[in-house]
Amino acid sequence: MSDAASPGTAAVVRDDGAVGVRNRVLVLPSVICSHVVAERIADRVPGAVATPHDHGCAQLGADIDQTKRTFCSLATNPNVAGTLVVGLGCEGVQSDDVAAELDDRGVPVREVAIQDVGGTDECIDTGATLARELVEGGSSTPSAGVSPADLTVGVVVGAPRESNTEVAEPVVGEFVDELVDAGGRAILAGVERFVAHPDEARARATPAAAEGMATTLERHRDRPAKVRRLQRMADDTPFDALTGAIADRPVEEVVEYGAEATLSEGVALLDSPSEFAEAATGLVAAGAQLIVHVTADGVTTGHPLAPVVKVSGDGTTVEALPEDIDVDARSTGGAALHDRVLAVAEGERCRAEEHGVTEFAITRVGPSM
């Protein structure tokens, strides 16, 4: 793997002082119907990335609110220099509504809709022009270096396998300890393990996070059995093992899916499933500039807006996928993961970026029509 930073990967400092470890223009389809157009726009513009998805239409109530909330929070992530919202024109989540909210937040934004400009080809041409404006007009300065205090790191752990709980998660926990001690933030995705052990989960929450923890546990308590598969797996695993990725740190904030984390340092819990694509999107929306993913199964995909450092403690997986795993937790500790995360934050490409593989998804609150 090359040690050099690829174009657009060097860290930058935004006008508000936030550090982006990547410098991307987000081409955001507001609805499934415009995602192909968004991808074609991004393909034409170096520095732009699209986030294709199957949301934005025929959603109801809290589900459509969550989709819009996620869109807007993604655009405020420090890795995003500006956002082009691409709509169809008749969707539930209207592209001009999203663009107006982003403008109110001070986000550099442009908007285009297929039905408004005369069709697919016209939308791609117009969109490419607007995306280039955002790339060329981005306001930031190169970062002189990234410190742990600059970082919000998302952490997502796969199913509670032995290689995760006994090998990989303790390594991540050592890293999180070092990160938080230096003034950084860690956000853990995967609420199933907390729901499986509600008493321990409540005890881990600080007074500031107690209400959010209680609300989250109650909301997930009576989920259908199919949705609770990972929770059932966690039932047989001690809570301390399940939270090894954040060591003994208390949970200082529980973050609603699609919302931005507000804590200045410490550990937060994201109300998200541990399925990678959905968790990664929620973490980026919460403010994570970089994600650490613990995988026993060898999930190789990254995320369009944030580099993903893959960690595995499973020997079979590491040996089968040596070019897809960033950190072999069997032979390294938290300090080595810390060094790898900082190198990626400063521009070195992670394995998923080397291969150019990404996945984007938003979790759902309820049924869609």
**Which residue among 86, 113, 142 closes a domain?**
142
pLDDT digits (tens, 9 = 90+) for 91-137: 888 999 999 999 999 999 999 999 999 999 999 999 999 999 999 98
pLDDT digits (tens, 9 = 90+) for 326-366: 999 999 999 999 999 999 999 999 999 999 999 999 998 86
For residue 365, tell me if it sits in a domain: no
Query: Are both 61 and 110 inside the same structural domain?
Result: yes
Q: In this structure, what token pair is assigned to residue 172?
A: 């991540």
Q: What pLDDT does 160 receive?
A: 84
Asked if residue 4 has pLDDT above 50, the reply is no
For residue 4, tell me if it sits in a domain: no
pLDDT digits (tens, 9 = 90+) for 64-86: 899 999 999 999 999 999 999 99
Q: 66, 99, 22: which is closest to 270 by C-alpha?
A: 66
Q: 320, 326, 324: which is closest to 356 by C-alpha?
A: 324
Asked if residue 46 has pLDDT above 50, the reply is yes
Mean per-residue pLDDT over the chain, rounded: 91
Q: Looking at 62-71, 148-157, 225-234, 311-320, which range is the least confident one? A: 225-234
Query: Are both 187 and 237 inside the same structural domain?
Result: yes
Name the residue range of residue 39's domain. 12-142
Query: Are both 115 and 160 inside the same structural domain?
Result: no
Query: Are both 45 and 153 inside the same structural domain?
Result: no
For residue 302, tell me if it sits in a domain: yes
pLDDT digits (tens, 9 = 90+) for 257-289: 999 999 999 999 999 999 999 999 999 999 999
For residue 366, tell me if it sits in a domain: no
Sheet order of strands, 19-20 included: 19-20, 12-14, 140-142
For residue 42, tell me if it sits in a domain: yes
Query: Are both 138 and 160 inside the same structural domain?
Result: no
Bridge-based pairing of strands 140-142 and 12-14 is: antiparallel
What is the total count of domains within the chain?
2
Q: In this structure, what token pair is assigned to residue 318?
A: 């590491």
**Which residue among 119, 142, 165 closes a domain?**
142
Query: Are both 19 and 135 inside the same structural domain?
Result: yes
Query: Are both 83 and 226 inside the same structural domain?
Result: no
**Which residue among 121, 142, 163 closes a domain?**
142
CATH code for the domain in which residue 86 is found: 3.40.50
Query: Are both 282 and 318 inside the same structural domain?
Result: yes
Query: Are both 28 and 174 inside the same structural domain?
Result: no
Query: Are both 106 and 32 inside the same structural domain?
Result: yes
Of 283 and 141, the one with more pLDDT: 283
Distance separating alpha carbons of residues 259 and 72, to the nearest angstrom: 9
Query: Are both 265 and 313 inside the same structural domain?
Result: yes
For residue 362, tell me if it sits in a domain: no
Query: Are both 127 and 160 inside the same structural domain?
Result: no
